[in-house]
Structure 1
Amino acid sequence: MAKTILIVDDNKDLCQAVRLILEVEGYRAFDFQKGAEALEYVQKEPAHAVLLDLDLGEGSAEGMKLLDRIKKIDPHIPIIVLTGEASVKMAVEAMKMGAFDYVTKPFDNDEVLVLVRKAVDEYEKSRQIEILRARTLSIKFPSVVGSGTAIRNVLEMTDRIAPTELTVVIHGESGSGKEVFARRIHAKSLRKDGPFVSVDCGTLQETLVESELFGYEKGAFTGADRRKLGQFEIASGGTLFLDEIGNLPLSVQAKLLRALQERKIHHLGGHKETDIDIRVIAASNVSLEEMIKAGKFREDLYHRLNQFKLDVPPLRKRTEDIPELGEFFLKNANDEMKKSVDGFSEDALKTMRNYSWPGNIREFKNAVYRAVLLAETTIEPVHLQITLTRDKYVEKSIQDSEAGRGISLKKASRHAAGILEKQLIEQTLEKCGGNKSLAAKRLKIDRKALYNKLKKFKLINK
């Protein structure tokens, strides 16, 4: 796309001559005889360089004010000062205020072209620095831990899709590790040396979604006191990960679709198109197909995104990976907390395997870190502090019911009641400091009944 050069001089003939030279060289040039007109343009549209006559028929002081105001709007714009022989001293002062360079009148055409090329290069470098500063450079690509069949199948599909440019939709429950797989796709793609930019669409305020994704110009809305790049630009050359994409308003979904189709975006409050070069990976913890049926997600956007779909299994469907995951987070927790907890007891591992982990890997990690903090040598079930509201039997009963298979309601209810009963006894004993008489009183049962239940649930030593 042609670079935009502004010429600001009260001499219209000179402006048209310079404009012609620049256009022959492939630049997009605009000339202004008044500073206010040039300032208005800069406030609305980006420019790659400005040729500025300090005098403008109003004295050099006005030109210096204009230079200052342009630099405040966009500090990256290089300004080349046009000056007469008698005003070189003022040009030097302008450079101290941030002007890129100066050229004296009458000037040689080639001299102007050389300065403009240098100025445009400077602008591009400055913009790249701005993008780099906005990026999260300390990106880590966490390993996918586990060797079970379920996770191996997902890894195989991940590594197969990574080298392509296809957009991907990752579906999985909250906390199941969707971003980990998105990062793996990026790390194994041809864009691995570019940025990986993650946007949690679920945390963005509806009024700010568009400006966050596409950027905005100064004055685009109340509080927009400077130009800001959007996440599409920050991710240029790399991967943009849109987590919980189902939370995007329909109006923004339409603009996202247009951006993906045209590979161009507009800043909020701007008119200039900006080319984008990104790969998009989207993720959702709800069925986008169901959202389409409910009228909450655009079908055309879904088909544009869903060139490949990756399903990440919940932790309860990959329980064979729990020992390996436990050791992974145990080592990390020991390192971070400067502890030396040596491992998990068999009872702790059994507890972890029997728990349904509704919060998935995120909840599992938190439980292990909490256990490392509480344990001295070996992690026991009490250190995990997890609530067994749904164990494997209850989970299977629910799954059988959902699949239309027969279940024993009496047996499932009795089993679930036993889990809750055990849980309440453990919590009450803990609150009573192990005093069984006080615990029985609070549970509104007699001491003998409590002892029987302690024996039943193997809590006799508590």
Structure 2
Amino acid sequence: MKTLKILVVDDEPAIRQIMASVIAREGHDVSVAEDGTSALEQLTANEYDVVFSDVRMPDFTGIELLKRAKAANVEAQFIIMTAFASVNTAIEAMRNGAFDYLTKPLRPEDVTHRINQIADFIGLKSENKVLRGLVMGIGDRQCAMPSESMAKVDRLIQKVAKTDSTVLITGESGTGKGVTAKTIHQNSLRATGTFIPVNCGAIPEHLMESELFGHTKGAFTGATKAKKGLFEEADGGTIFLDEIGELPLHLQVKLLHVLEEKQVRPVGSERFIDIDARIVSATNCDLQQMVKDNKFREDLYFRLNIFNIDLPSLKDRKDDIKILIDFFVKREGKKLGLTQHFDIEAEALELLENYQYPGNIRELENIIARALILADDDIIRTTDLPNQMLDQSKPTISGDKTLREQVRDFEMQIIKQAIADSNDDRRVAAEKLGLGLSSLYRKLDE
């Protein structure tokens, strides 16, 4: 069961103490307040799942607290407690949005029963939110792609998501392996469980075993208390092992045991712990070559690679670039607090669409974020793009075109740049280029 954050509001110290003891014994976080005013301050400053509130308090009633909390957009579920139970009290409490009510003297089993009911209710709300998001396609981390290569990837995701198969995601750096892993989780039967991303290349080797599998108190110097490992944290959900090729050989053996036995053993413990976590891994390395070089275990490779999703590089999916540009302009603008609409000049859009993107989607995302910050008059221009894009746009010798055609392409780039630098004033651009206005138009029409 999820650990809930619970607030007890009562003007009697003994009631607060007893309630706090019962709730803490069930493993939940509990706070107390002596009246409505202090309770409302806590509710607006912190997030709570449940509020147990007395009806009669020195400043205002529990039902008034409920009304004020709802008006302040507090989402906690209220249980109203009263020693003066009546049908009218119950009706008023429920009418104003209370989850339920209890009569004093309280019985511990009634308190725990209501908490369990609310925990189930919160779980259902979370599950419904996930399902609505999947049905409606809601999410700011991804968007639909028109390219055939990504349509194939989407089909593979939909096929494997509903299973519990291990998945190995491969592809160049920046192609979206993390987003793909999260999408698999969100479309799976584990969607309401935890998604735990782990960067195997970012954890120091001497800490990796305890991070993954946990440790007991005193297992090593500095282990002052027992700690759950990331596999335990992912129980019931999905653990995503990014950069799996960076995993040391001695830990590859232990990961193989987890895959085969569904168990982990914390550092310093003699006891194995059963875990139920789906494993999705990713790499930009050639694991098959690493197996040949004895840098990666062959048996582990085959267990991880039951189902492979290989992500294409961005330069091989040109059909997706324009949609990604529009998507990142909106999303990055929102993240930067820029609410206005941005336009992209034609020359800048051409550069964005034809750039090779060695850093793939991540590089495009960063380029757009930078351009939004630099853009004047809410227009992204070539001057807002990084130098490497401008350098790549310089003309190159092509064996597929005649000299005249290549000269013509180079000339057109110069003309378009001059027009962009002149704020689309073609008369000014013609003067800069030493051309008559009619000559400029003629060259544009050729």
> Structure 2-normalised TM-score?
0.57
For 1:186, the equivalent position in structure 2 comes to 185
Aligned mates of 2:178, 2:245 — CA distance in 1: 15
Could you give the per-residue CA deviations for residues 319-354 of structure 1, whole angstroms, max 9, x where no partner exists? 211111111111123323324242212211211122
Residues 1:163 and 1:386: Cα distance change in structure 2 (over 3 Å): farther
Aligned mates of 2:148, 2:234 — CA distance in 1: 34
1:75-94 aligned at under 5 Å gives the runs none
For 2:345, the equivalent position in structure 1 comes to 345
Aligned mates of 1:347, 1:149 — CA distance in 2: 27
Could you give the per-residue CA deviations for residues 100-146 of structure 1, whole angstroms, max 9, x where no partner exists? xxxxxxxxxxxxxxxxxx9xx9xxx9xx9xxx9xxxxx997722442
Aligned mates of 1:262, 1:179 — CA distance in 2: 26
Aligned mates of 1:181, 1:223 — CA distance in 2: 37
Instruction: Establish whether residue 158 from structure 1 lines up as the match of residue 119 from structure 2.
Output: no
**One-letter amino acid matched to 1:299:** E
Aligned mates of 1:386, 1:145 — CA distance in 2: 30
Could you give the per-residue CA deviations for residues 48-107 of structure 1, whole angstroms, max 9, x where no partner exists? xxxxxxxxxxxxxxxxxxxxxxxxxxx9999xxxxxxxxxxxxxxxxxxxxxxxxxxxxx
For 2:293, the equivalent position in structure 1 comes to 294
Aligned mates of 1:273, 1:259 — CA distance in 2: 10
**One-letter amino acid matched to 2:375:** A
For 1:270, the equivalent position in structure 2 comes to 269
1:396-411 aligned at under 5 Å gives the runs none
Aligned mates of 1:161, 1:77 — CA distance in 2: 37
For 2:201, the equivalent position in structure 1 comes to 202
Residues 1:333 and 1:383: Cα distance change in structure 2 (over 3 Å): same
When structure 1 is superposed on structure 2, of 343-352 and 362-371 the one drifting more is 343-352
- Rg comparison, structure with higher value: 1
Aligned mates of 1:254, 1:272 — CA distance in 2: 18
Aligned mates of 2:351, 2:385 — CA distance in 1: 9
For 2:357, the equivalent position in structure 1 comes to 357
* 1:265 positional shift: 0.8
1:179-328 aligned at under 5 Å gives the runs 179-328=178-327
Aligned mates of 2:25, 2:196 — CA distance in 1: 23
**One-letter amino acid matched to 1:310:** I
Could you give the per-residue CA deviations for residues 21-65 of structure 1, whole angstroms, max 9, x where no partner exists? xxxxxxxxxxxxxxxxxxxxxxxxxxxxxxxxxxxxxxxxxxxxx
Residues 1:305 and 1:316: Cα distance change in structure 2 (over 3 Å): same
Question: Helix, strand or coil: the match of 1:146?
Answer: coil
- Counterpart contact for 1:330–1:343, Cα < 8 Å: no
**One-letter amino acid matched to 1:361:** I
For 1:330, the equivalent position in structure 2 comes to 329
* 1:216 positional shift: 0.4
1:380-459 aligned at under 5 Å gives the runs 380-388=381-389, 391=392
* 1:359 positional shift: 1.2
* 1:243 positional shift: 0.2
Question: Helix, strand or coil: the match of 1:320?
Answer: helix
Residues 1:155 and 1:393: Cα distance change in structure 2 (over 3 Å): farther
> Structure 1-normalised TM-score?
0.55
**One-letter amino acid matched to 2:350:** K
Aligned mates of 1:141, 1:162 — CA distance in 2: 20
- Counterpart contact for 1:196–1:241, Cα < 8 Å: yes
Could you give the per-residue CA deviations for residues 154-206 of structure 1, whole angstroms, max 9, x where no partner exists? 11111111101110000011111001111111111111111111000010101
* 1:393 positional shift: 10
- Counterpart contact for 2:328–2:368, Cα < 8 Å: yes
**One-letter amino acid matched to 1:311:** D
Residues 1:389 and 1:229: Cα distance change in structure 2 (over 3 Å): farther
Aligned mates of 1:394, 1:229 — CA distance in 2: 57
- Counterpart contact for 2:321–2:353, Cα < 8 Å: yes
Aligned mates of 2:144, 2:395 — CA distance in 1: 27
Residues 1:170 and 1:338: Cα distance change in structure 2 (over 3 Å): same
* 1:392 positional shift: 8.7
Residues 1:260 and 1:153: Cα distance change in structure 2 (over 3 Å): same
- Counterpart contact for 2:173–2:359, Cα < 8 Å: yes
- Counterpart contact for 2:237–2:278, Cα < 8 Å: yes
- Counterpart contact for 2:143–2:327, Cα < 8 Å: no
- Counterpart contact for 1:243–1:284, Cα < 8 Å: yes
Structure 2 gaps of 5+ residues are 1-23, 28-108, 124-129, 134-138, 418-432, 435-446
Q: Percent identity?
A: 40
- Counterpart contact for 1:144–1:180, Cα < 8 Å: no
For 1:55, the equivalent position in structure 2 comes to none
**One-letter amino acid matched to 1:346:** A
**One-letter amino acid matched to 1:226:** K
Could you give the per-residue CA deviations for residues 404-457 of structure 1, whole angstroms, max 9, x where no partner exists? xxx97xx9xxx9xxx9xx9xxx9xxxxxxxxxxxxxxxxxxxxxxxx99xxxxx
When structure 1 is superposed on structure 2, of 261-270 and 334-343 the one drifting more is 334-343
* 1:363 positional shift: 1.1
Aligned mates of 1:205, 1:394 — CA distance in 2: 46
Residues 1:242 and 1:349: Cα distance change in structure 2 (over 3 Å): same
Residues 1:248 and 1:394: Cα distance change in structure 2 (over 3 Å): farther
* 1:279 positional shift: 0.7
* 1:229 positional shift: 0.4
Residues 1:158 and 1:146: Cα distance change in structure 2 (over 3 Å): same
**One-letter amino acid matched to 1:356:** Q
